[in-house]
Amino acid sequence: MTTSEAPARIAVTGLAVMGSNLARNLARHGYRVAVHNRSSARTKALIEEHGHEGDFVPAETLEELVASLQTPRQIIIMVKAGAPTDAVIDELVPLLEPGDMVIDGGNAHYADTRRREAALREAGLHFVGAGISGGEEGALNGPSIMPGGSKESYQHLGPVLESIAAQVDGVPCCVHVGPDGAGHFVKMVHNGIEYADMQLIAEAYDLLNRVGGMTPTQIAEVFRGWNSGDLESYLVEITAEVLGHFDPETGVPLVDVIADEAEQKGTGRWTVQEALELGVPVTGIAEAVFARSLSGRVEQRKAAREAFGSPEVLASERIADQLVEDVRQALYASKVVAYAQGFDQMRAASAEYGWDLDLGAMATIWRGGCIIRARFLDRIREAYDKDPNLASLLVDEYFRDAVRDAEAAWRRVVVGAVEAGVPVPGFVSALAYYDALRSERLPASLVQGLRDFFGAHTYRRTDREGSFHTLWSGDRSQVDA
């Protein structure tokens, strides 16, 4: 920390793991950073432990924090999403002047961000909802940053945020996503894809373990190998780390002693709720959210085990080699589906809210820093560069070929899992989505017939325009509706 009286360039309030690491990242990039936390112990700890890393200005109160800043002020809020964020904004706003910028880097719901942006705009302030991904390590060494808000605010903030973001091939993993809540919407979908990706990885592990008879250590090696091919990604890389780790207390693989109840903070659920509102089928994300919920239904699981017994899976090491390759292909194809669904949701939201999202740019800023960073995001960027109005990622030439090539293995994995009694909701739903999208006819025609029967909800025909109703309880003739 320096003792100079120069005003700070930027401020961070909320110094838990994310905020303190983001402040350190800013300081390491040469910015004079004002820092504040509701309880000052965290501020003191940051200065004591990391003050030597750069130019920090500790503040006991928000008044002090605001007073320490150059104008227009830029204040990053990194506190719990929801009411705590509102509490900080309410305290901060009366202290600010027109033109100042408040940046919410937490995992806010995009609708809250839209509300806050509108309210602060009324007061002449800029409110920037910025999704930040990468966990504590990313916050410190370079996260992926997804800022929304006005273009004007990005002109001020962009250079700072881009400088502290992860860089891939010299390109920062930060771009102005779009107005008002666009940044937090994109971060929410990022997290939804994160859920789907992790569920698929978990299913792959389960199959190799229970059907292939492989140990966590052996599966760790498989994931390590996969990480040098198409599947190369942060999540595949850390899967190898987690599976290869032994519990120091018991000496068994750690994964075998971790309780099998997956928790969630809510961003995956939000993604599905918003997809339902937009009418976008994000089946992979939904299955992932529900799989976590099911894992937590401990009493129901116990009752079902007692009623039916656990599936007796006969593991066979003989089939392991074929299984490993099949599961790799099923994982890749299902992953492509999950990303296709997430990008579809962003496209729908962009149209709904007039955000004009550049989907290729979203793939670009997810290539580094964030949890879903993966080699194939380059392919996604290329696909949208070629055709920004792509109907679905699945029909891009590269992904079309990749999914087609994987199809036979994907089906073998799903059939084998179903026969063995190993639940693979992610793989199954991805395959069903693929089959449904490409079907010439869907049984939705029967659904429409049934709706018309019981509720006179009408139907359209394949051979002419208009809406029709059949007089089901009369002479069953058809009338124009």
Ligand X SMILES: O=C(CO)[C@H](O)[C@H](O)COP(=O)(O)O
Ligand Y SMILES: NC(=O)C1=CN([C@@H]2O[C@H](COP(=O)(O)OP(=O)(O)OC[C@H]3O[C@@H](n4cnc5c(N)ncnc54)[C@H](OP(=O)(O)O)[C@@H]3O)[C@@H](O)[C@H]2O)C=CC1
Residues designated as active site: 187, 194
The single residue among 25, 33, 34, 37 that binds ligand Y, judged by CB under 6 A, is: 37
Pairing state between β 101-104 and 126-133 = parallel
310 labeled binding residue = no
Residues 10, 12, 18, 62: which binds ligand Y (CB under 6 A)?
Answer: 18
Q: Binding to ligand Y by residue 39, rule CB under 6 A?
A: yes
Point out which span in 49-57, 81-89, 204-212, 310-318 binds ligand Y (CB under 6 A).
81-89
Q: Which residue is nearest to ligand Y (CB)?
A: 106
Nearest distance from residue 63's CB to ligand X, in Å?
31
Measured from the CB atom, the residue of 157 and 214 that comes closer to ligand Y is 157
CB of 191 to ligand X, least distance (A): 5
Closest to ligand X by CB, 270 vs 399, is 270
Closer to ligand X at the Cβ: 58 or 129?
Answer: 129
Is 27 in contact with 53 (CB distance < 8 Å)?
yes
18 is in an annotated binding site: yes
| Residue 37 assigned to a binding site | yes
Write out the binding residues for ligand Y, residues 87-146 only, by CB under 6 A: 87-88, 106-107, 132-133, 135-136
Whose tokens are 């799989």? That residue is 291
Please check if 14 is assigned to a binding site.
yes
Q: Is 19 in the site for ligand Y (CB under 6 A)?
A: yes
Please tell me whether residue 72 binds ligand Y under the rule CB under 6 A: no
User: How many whole angstroms separate alpha carbon 59 and alpha carbon 66?
Assistant: 9
Where along the sequence are the contacts to ligand X (CB under 6 A)?
107, 133, 135, 191, 194, 264-265, 267-268, 371
Q: 88 is in the binding site of which of ligand Y, ligand X, none (Cβ under 5 to 8 A by kind)?
A: ligand Y
Cα 62 to Cα 142: distance, rounded to the nearest angstrom: 26
> Is residue 16 close enough to count as binding ligand Y by CB under 6 A?
yes
368 with 144: CB under 8 angstroms? Answer: yes
214 has binding-site annotation: no
Q: Which of 79, 186, 262, 327 binds ligand Y (CB under 6 A)?
A: 79
Question: Among 349, 348, 342, which Cα is nearest to 363's?
Answer: 342
Query: What are the structure tokens assigned to 114, written together?
Result: 């839209």
Residue 269 Cβ vs ligand X, minimum distance, rounded to whole Å: 8
Q: Does 57 bind ligand Y (CB under 6 A)?
A: no
Show binding-site residues for substrate. 107, 133-135, 190-191, 195, 265, 292, 451, 457
Interface contacts to ligand Y, rule CB under 6 A: 14-19, 37-39, 42, 78-81, 84, 87-88, 106-107, 132-133, 135-136
